Amino acid sequence: MKKTKEEEVVRIAATDIPARLSVYAGLTKIKGISWSVSNAICNILNIEKNKRLKELSEEEIEKIEKFLKKPELPSWLMNRRKDRETGEDKHLITTDLELAKEFDIRRLKKIKCYRGVRHALGLPVRGQRTRSHFRKGKTVGVIRKKVEQKKK
């Protein structure tokens, strides 16, 4: 008889993270947290980076969640510096990050700046070449009319 082993998960910031991962690697599974931010969180909160998530106590998990709501990171490490509305440095994660990105793109499209037009047309925004890439879904090359009507 086989025993089904349920994989343990730890829920931090509305994200399920496999409990077998270390704290350092596990935090990077949260959208908006990079390896450098994960390292900074571990150092600031004095949590051992190599410790497994399943070994964390409830207090440590709560401490991480509280820190993620209002992170006290150096400004150069934050992902939204000098926010357009408030002017302060923020670090957004999960759905807040996705919403902010969506609103930024919508604003660019509305004011019809170059980047907004490129987003609207589905073309590359940051100056990449388009001759050989970004050609999905469009006609590529020359289509001959039924191979010149089957060579008469």
Cα–Cα distance, 141 to 125 (Å, whole number): 23
Task: Quote the mean pLDDT of the chain.
Answer: 84
Mean pLDDT of 18-45: 91
Domain at 94-151, CATH class: few secondary structures
Contact yes or no for 28/34 (Cβ under 8 A): yes
List C-alpha distances in Å: 70 to 19, 91, 132: 24, 8, 44
Q: Say what the pLDDT of residue 1 is.
A: 34
Give percent of the chain with pLDDT exceeding 70.
84
User: Could you tell me the two tokens for 52?
Assistant: 């497994």
Please provide the DSSP assignment of 21-89 as one string. SBHHHHGGGSTT--HHHHHHHHHHTT--TTSBGGG--HHHHHHHHHHHHS----GGG-SB-S-TTT-S-
Domains of the chain, residue spans: 9-76, 94-151
Give me the amino acid identity at 60.
E
CATH fold of 9-76, please?
Answer: Helicase, Ruva Protein; domain 3 (1.10.8)
For 71-102, what is each residue's pLDDT tens digit? Answer: 888 889 888 888 888 888 888 888 888 999 99
Confidence of residue 138 (pLDDT cuts 50, 70, 90): low
> What DSSP state is assigned to residue 133?
S
Q: Say what the pLDDT of residue 150 is.
A: 66
Confidence of residue 123 (pLDDT cuts 50, 70, 90): confident
Mean pLDDT of 49-57: 89
Higher pLDDT residue, 28 or 139?
A: 28
Give the total residue count for the chain.
152
pLDDT at 44 > cutoff 60: yes
